[in-house]
Every structure is written in C-alpha cells, then in structure tokens.
Chain A
Amino acid sequence: MTTLLLAEHDGKRLDDATARALSAAKALGAPVHVLVAGQDCAAVADAAAALDGVAKVLVADDARYAHALAEPVAALMVQLAPGYDALVAAATSSGKNVMPRVAALLDVMQVSDVIKVLGPDRFERPIYAGNAVQTVRSGDAKKVLTIRTAAFPSAAAGGAKAPVEPVQAAADPGLSSFAGEALSQSARPELGGAKAVVSGGRALGSAEKFKQYIEPLADALGAAVGASRAAVDAGYAPNDFQVGQTGKVVAPGLYVAVGISGAIQHLAGMKDSKIIVAINKDEEAPIFQVADFGLVGDLFDIVPKLTEAIAKARG
C-alpha cells in the first residue's frame, strides 16, 4: 500500500498546494511518495523531500515535463501506477488537467475535489457549488483523487529529508506542445494559500477603480486579491483572480467581499473562510447572509476609510 502524490511546482518552487494535498494523502494511511515531473527541478525535489511524512521523492527531470503538459505527465503516472494503490494531486488547474487523463487510462473513476478523507476508499466531496456534500465509496482497485487544497492544512516542513530518486521518463505521446504563457506578476500573496483575501466585484466599475480601491486595502491587510466572475468578465481583474465554483476555492482567515452580491457560484469559492466581511450598498444582498460582519454603504466611501483604519490598527 503506497500513495503517489504529484507535486505542483513551476520548475523552481514547490507550491504550497502540494503540502496541503500531502495532508490528505497521508490520511489514506499508507506511505506517500512524491513525484516531481519537470525540467531542472532539483530544488523542487529538495523541498518535497523536506515535507513531513514523505517517504520518498521521485524525480522525472526531462524537457518533456517542462510545462506539465497533460499527455506526457499522464503517461508518466500511468507508467508508475503499478507500484501504487492511490494516485493523488491537488485540485489546481494542473491537477485537474492531468489526473482525469490518468484515471481514464487506468480505467478508474476519479474522485474530484476531496474535502475529507474518511478512509482509504471513502471520501467527502462537494457537488452543486458546495450546496451538498456527498460521501462516496470507491470500488475501484486503485484510487485517483484530486484534493481541494482549501480543505486541508499544509503539512509541515523541516524534518528529516526523504531520499530522492530519479525515475525514467515515459514515452512522450507527442500530441501537444507549449506555445506561450502570460502569467500574472504580483508581489502580493497567492490566492490559494493567503491568510487574507480582498475580492472586488462588478461594483468597482473599471480596472482603474479596481486597482485604486481594492489593492490598497489588500496591501493594508497583507492580503491576496480576488474577484467575482463579473469583475473578471468585465476585464477589471485577470482570470486567475476569479473566486468561485468555477474559479479558485479559498478559505483564508479573513475574506473581504467588496461590491459583490454573493451569487451561489461566488459563495462556493469562499464560504469556508473563517471570517467574512461584506461591503455592499444593498442591505438585501445575499452576501450578507454569510458575512460575520456586514457593512452597508457605498464602497467608494467606505473602502478608503477602512484601508486607513486597518493600516493604523496593524501599525
């Protein structure tokens, strides 16, 4: 009984999503091996080896894994699969892309977005934008799981280092190639692991105002910036800021929703946050039903004052 966890990284840094998925992987009760597939990714392997509860790190260092394309990475996991009872990844855009391909090649029905591990074959997962939670038992011989990172704490790092072993690259199906990327640059914390998140909605009205009002408040709180779908669709914020059923799911200590109505699809991405603050001029807005602290009023009036008061309070 061994579990294989696919590491999430950008070639240089191991993403915190891996440490969170590791907590779920460990709950399966078997030793965990971490697979790092990438190019020149020794530093990532090193970081994975330092995570608590990792028994071994496998490194497939090859140009074909440089951009984590689904076809070659899935082929690699399928090649390694005979030695494992469970194949696990964080439910990031990369994990969601690769794992169902692995599952189908192994003739396994994947369990997506696991929020609780009840045993080696029993899991809880949300459906209908988190308005219901299923308890499922998998009858497949092997389990293929993606893990909702917001539902699990990060495994600690810094213990004894696990051994790191190279593994052979698998034959590349050669079906796809990388043609470019446009990644958001930001000095702010990442949405996924942030302790606080400030999100803006349609009410901001323009990309300039989004920047002018949301960013200073986020900086005063040391928060990541998020957005509703409406704000992203309108071009006020980039796509990777979208919080919700079909965007990112976050559960920070503090979530501040500014000018967001609180549609089911948005709530799905933030309602497990510890403290929710809502600022909205419509006192009937559904966001207030989940807010611990709701402030009714015009955001353009409230947000600058709040930014100043928080900056002062946090020194």
Chain B
Amino acid sequence: MKVLVPVKRVVDANVKIRVKPDQSGVDLANVKMAMNPFDEIAVEEALRLREAGKATEVVAVSIGPAQAQETIRTALAMGADRGIHVAAEGTVEPLAVAKLLKAVADREQPGLIVMGKQAIDDDSNQTGQMLAALLGWPQGTFASKVAIGDGAVEVTREVDGGLQTLSLKLPAVITTDLRLNEPRYASLPNIMKAKKKTIDALTTAELGVDVTPRLTVEKTAPPPGRQGGVKVASVEELVAKLKEAGALA
C-alpha cells in the first residue's frame, strides 16, 4: 500500500508573528519556516507503517512556492521515499489544496492519506476533511492511534469528550493529532541520502485546478491587547483582589 503525506511549509511554531503596519497581512520577511508540526507527525506515522510492513511506499507532497521543496526534502530526510511538488504562488486555500491533492491522489492511487489536522498558520482544520469528501473516502480526523487491519483501518480520535474509535474502509484519509507519535529527527546520513531522492514537479494547470481564492481578506489586524503584568505578593492579597473583582461569586 502506498501512503501519501501532504506536508505544508509554515512559520516555525516558536515564532511570534507580527502583523504588517498597513494591516495587509502577516510579516513573513526573514521569518524562520518549518514543516507544519502536525505534518511531521503524519510523516512519522507513514514511516512507521512502512517499517511495520503495512505500507510499501511513502510519498510526500507539498503545494506552494519553490521553497516548499525544502519541506519535501525534510520529509525525505526523515525517510519518505519520494516527493511531489505542486508549484503555486500566493494563498492557496484549503478547498483548492484539497482539489489539488485529489488530483494527485487520482494519479498516485494511494491506499491511505495521512496529513495534519491543522496548519498552524491559517489554523483552518479543513483540508483533510475536504479531501476525503472530494475522493468519496472515509475520514479519521484528530487521530491519536492508527491500526491497519484487513481492508480497513481503526482510528482512535481525540474528541471533546475524550476518545472515540472508528473503523474506516480503505482507502481513507487520516488527520493527525499531537499524541499520535513523536516524530524522529533526520540523521545526517539520511539528510545526505534525501538529496538523491526524486521530487516530481507539477503545476496547478497540469492538475486542472483553479486555485483562485474564494475568500477576500479585507484586512489582517493584531488581536485586542491585554493589560496584564500585575503581580500580587501573597495568597491573601490575591483572594482580596479576586473578591473585589467579583470573581469569587
């Protein structure tokens, strides 16, 4: 079984971003970029399936500018077998990403797609569900455990009330949650090896997808600020202040 893993290049999770003064967007000049953390978890899961003999090939795919190839390289250095880069400039919304990924899946015919639950830049949490819909496949979102069976996969999901386990017919789309696994670091030899692996190049036109955004972003503003930073000296003072603020009613 082939596993397809969509990976997105995003601002590193440790960076506190700044909004541009003219509110036209987020300032990304010279900001450290990385693979979306949930996608690292997805790559790791796919690799573990291959190592357990449940998968035969792991293909990483990314949609974005030329630099998205670096993100694919990261996946290859972790151990993915090959990559696919779909060149696209500017904002590609989750719906368009899902359409492009569907077109890639139609060509590649994977038995499973494992991807992140959420990109930490747009925080959309949509693409996996949309892709599953467009493919007519079942979806196992927010996965904390994946067990491949015969023609089906059991997915344990992190839900608001606790955990839920579903059985999905294969092929299926799975989106990862934080506790699915702990992604490995790429070793130096594997980073070297990754340089020789192939990354196929595709365009949105070749895949026949119109990526024109459906949402117009009118402005991007900083969130309302908070006046914090006040310290109290003791438990007694804290309780008095809370009482005064009506927080102990």
Contact surface of A with B, Cβ cutoff 8 Å: 10, 67, 69-71, 74, 92-94, 96-105, 107-113, 122, 126-140, 173, 175-184, 192, 196, 221, 229, 232-233, 238-240, 245-246, 248, 253-254, 264-265, 271, 274-277, 283, 288-296, 302, 305-306, 309-310, 313-314
Contacts and interface: CB of A to CB of B under 8 A. Distances in A.
17 contacts: A94-B159, A100-B133, A103-B130, A104-B134, A108-B95, A109-B213, A112-B123, A122-B218, A127-B26, A128-B123, A135-B217, A138-B214, A239-B158, A240-B160, A254-B242, A289-B228, A294-B229
B217 A313 contact: no
B179 A232 contact: yes
B66 interface: no
Given A104-B95, A136-B218, A291 B123 contact: no
Interface of A: prevailing SS: mixed
A135 B219 contact: yes
Nearest to B25: A132
Contacts of A140: 214
Nearest to B134: A104
Nearest to B239: A309
B209 to A, nearest CB: 12
Interface string B113-147: 00001101111111111111110111111101000
Given A70-B139, A175-B169, A313-B242, 6 more contacts: A135-B219, A137-B215, A139-B214, A246-B117, A293-B238, A313-B248
B162 A181 contact: yes
B245 interface: yes
A126 B123 CA distance: 8
- Counting from the closest, the 7 A-B pairs by CB-CB distance are A175-B138, A104-B130, A100-B129, A109-B214, A100-B126, A104-B133, A183-B162
B229 A288 contact: yes
B129 A67 contact: no
B56 interface: no
B139 A277 contact: no
Q: Which of A71, A107, A180, A292 has the most CB of B within 10 A?
A: A292
Contacts of B93: 109
B242 A277 contact: yes
